[in-house]
Chains A and B, each alone.
Chain A
Amino acid sequence: MATVQEFSFAEFVKSILWLTFWILVIFTLIILPIIFIVLFYVPAPEIAGIEMNPYLLLTMLVNPEIGAPLINLTLDQPLFRVMVFPGFTFAALFATAIIFVERKFLAKMQVRVGPYYAGREVFWWARSLEGLLQMLADLLKLLGKEVILPSGADKPIFWAAPVVLVIASSALIAVIPAGPGWVIADIDVGLLVVFAILGFFPLTALLASWASNSKYPFIGGLRALHQMIAYEIPLILSVLGVVILSGQLNLSKIVAAQEPYWYILLLPIGAFVFFITALAELERVPFDLPEAESEIVAGWLTEYSGMSYGLIQLASYIKLYALAGLFVTLFLGGWMGPLPLAFLGPNAPSGVDMFGVELLTTQEAVGILWFVVKTFGISVLMLLPRGINPRIRIDILLRTGWAKLIALSFINIFIALALLYLGVAGPAGPVGVISP
């Protein structure tokens, strides 16, 4: 009988344990002595008045206050904002959370379980966390897969497109304020920047589809181009109402201008048009026809595999976060909560402390919390149509975009103008509600 290599889980665990053991042995016997020898001769650098010795972390465990100046310094760095909090890491984590929620949410709606075992194995004591590690598993799977280059593909564009998409969608985050003062680029033409970057996506989609050298991606790319261009115009027009009322293009100031009431109360039609067009921009159901699998396999993503596919997906979910954040910023009052800060009472802490350092003031912390909650809610609303709608056809899509949505957004502009001239709201502040 032929010998068969049978997979044994015990053997697998054993091999991992042995591997860890040997790594530790080599580390302690070889690498650690080398580090100590180097440290003996080279003086440790000094940052913010603290000596950066290798024991700093251990010291900080005992006495956290030592690290306080260091944390302060980090928080002040622009790089921190770009890389961590309102920037890429936060957005990517948010996108991952959205993917997880989408899968569980959709599964719930479809009377099935969704991701179940990944995570449940680890957190066996907490059944509600079932499937939490599925995103990690998917990431590992995508990383382990070969990126297949189709023959005849335009290599530079084919490789660059996913990266460009991630960069472009991350760039959208830069102008969206995640809390009072928490914005990477607080520029006066923020809204224009958003539309400038959004204009980049159809081009990239078309280039990616072209570079794939295949028929299905090509049709998908053309559809994406048609769709995004047709929906960009109502998108911009629907925001015009907000600009008229606030007199601002700076997103932070637009949020501040929504002080008494949010613009969704004044401009519901604009918010509706923005929501629909954002769905179309994101290629989400029912507007996912550039990726319609029953007609054109996977649209312009057909030839992408492995991590380059993963990057495109990441880009699309970061874009979802960005557009949901934009919706919150423009129509839902951004970081402002429905309740005033005084609601917290007189004994509320003045800020969020860590190691004695004030990371955020209470106002900032509450603002960020409200922003995250609202953005999450809007994201879930954007996921909802996936469960209840079929895909629509390109001609219906274009007719809706060019005829109905543009008409609606013009109506919205007239409403905004009327509100302005009647003095209900405007850049100078609403008349009669709060008179200076």
Chain B
Amino acid sequence: MGLPPSMQVEESEEGRILTISVGPQHPGSGHFRLVVKVDGDIIVGADPDPGYVHRGEEKMCEYRNYIQNIPHLERPMIADSCGILYPFCLGVEDIANIPVPERAKYIRVILAELNRCIFELYWLGIYGIFLGHSTMFMWPMGDRELLIDLAEAATGARVTHAYFVPGGVRNDLPENFKERAIRQLDYFKHRLDQYKDIFYNNPLFLDRTKGVGVLSAQDAINLGVTGPVLRASGVKHDIRKIEPYDVYDQLDFEAYSMNSGDSYARAYIPLLEMYESINIIKQCLEKMPSGSVRTKLGPNPRGAAGESFKRVEAGRGELAYYLVSDGTPKPYRVKLSVPSFRQIPAMPHLLKGAKLADMPAIYWSLNYWPVEADR
């Protein structure tokens, strides 16, 4: 009695290799395929295969003017829709020389940080369920509602806000937003403390993640990974700090980094960042001046011929837009350099030699978002 017929086991020098396709229909993959080769319980090769949700965002951009590009550009990353739109607005403002009112800058920062939290909670929830921790799935998903409610009060939509526009934001914050925000953020901070107890300090979680998938700083830089993944490897590289956009240079906050470079560090940094986001939002609410929030523009803003490369720190890391304009109302070329796509090379690098059971712990700690990577 041999192996069942569907299991092709190839004999090779390393031993007997079983190929497992993780995705595209797999509870642990998303819209994405990871071809994993295992020898026993050890992964000997992993080949990421993105592209299942490619929508041609970059080509679509060339057919629409700058304003019309807003709604579809946030679709690749609806969990962080402000983060993915932010550099686009910065880039258009750069190309078309649009001034931004001071209040709009603060509102943008508030919304970007809210969205960072919303994204990181979503991410954390899925990390929890990937490690088999169902409570850690439900809690962040529930607490996300607090922040989504805030974002909805400001923008009018729960996830796809279409809120940032070149020249500011669409509308001012509603009345009593400040009190509401502070109340809910205080509660949210209290909830984050609970996460530490049940998840981050749980000895089984530490067993699962400490020392798993260690990425050295040199490798992290060379592979081009970004965001929390890079910072977990000890490289203090946060765009908000090194190249402050909008009002980040007037705010007092910390960009955290850890030195261990393992899955635990990659999972812990988002938690610290959420604390920091609460801090930033509160500062912004205090410092925010009054005034206009949007520069009045014609329906078709057009920029001079030229190019612009703007980057922001989104929830998953450095998100950059390379905009080339030829002077027409439509962009000549838009290139999204998304963090998820930049994490891909780290995946085979880290998975090789890991255990099969560590696959979800490593894969999801890389902050990889299939829809965003495919664009």
Chain A residues with CB under 8 Å of chain B are: 106, 109-112, 152, 210, 213-216, 218-219, 285-286, 288-289, 292-297, 386-396
Contacts and interface: CB of A to CB of B under 8 A. Distances in A.
25 contacts: A106-B134, A106-B135, A110-B135, A110-B138, A110-B139, A110-B142, A111-B139, A112-B142, A152-B4, A210-B4, A213-B4, A213-B5, A215-B20, A218-B3, A219-B356, A289-B357, A294-B27, A295-B357, A297-B28, A388-B135, A389-B204, A390-B133, A391-B132, A391-B204, A393-B358
Interface centre among A112, A294, A387, by most chain B C-beta atoms within 10 angstroms, is: A294
Contacts of A219: 20, 356
B142 A111 contact: yes
B134 A392 contact: no
Contacts of A386: 134
Contacts of B18: 215
B300 interface: no
B359 to A, nearest CB: 6
Contacts of A389: 132-133, 202, 204
Interface in B1-43: 3-7, 18, 20, 26-28, 41
A46 to B, nearest CB: 57
A337 to B, nearest CB: 34
B101 interface: no
Contacts of A295: 28, 356-357, 359-360
A216 B205 CA distance: 24
B208 interface: yes
Interface string B341-375: 00000000000000111111000000000000000
A214 B205 CA distance: 30
Nearest to A293: B27
Contacts of B204: 286, 389-392
Interface stretch (B123-131, B155-163, B168-176, B234-242): B123-131
A286 B134 contact: no
A388 B202 CA distance: 8
Contacts of A214: 4, 6
Nearest to B132: A391
A193 B162 CA distance: 66
A394 B208 CA distance: 10
Contacts of A215: 6-7, 18, 20
A214 B7 CA distance: 7
B341 to A, nearest CB: 22
Nearest to B142: A111
What 4 A-B pairs are tightest by C-beta distance, nearest first? A391-B132, A294-B28, A110-B138, A390-B133
Interface string B161-189: 00000000000000000000000000000
Given A294-B130, A396-B207, A111 B27 contact: no
Contacts of A292: 132, 357
A109 B198 CA distance: 11
B134 A387 contact: yes
Given A390-B208, A395-B41, 18 more contacts: A110-B138, A152-B6, A214-B4, A214-B6, A215-B18, A285-B134, A292-B132, A292-B357, A293-B28, A294-B28, A294-B131, A296-B356, A388-B135, A388-B198, A389-B133, A390-B204, A390-B205, A391-B131
Given A218-B7, A294-B27, A390 B358 contact: no
Nearest to A391: B132
Nearest to A386: B134
Given A294-B27, A390-B128, A396-B207, A218 B134 contact: no
A112 B131 contact: no
Given A388-B202, A390-B202, A218 B4 contact: yes
A390 B3 CA distance: 32
Contacts of A285: 132, 134
B150 interface: no
B191 to A, nearest CB: 10
Nearest to B9: A215
A305 to B, nearest CB: 15
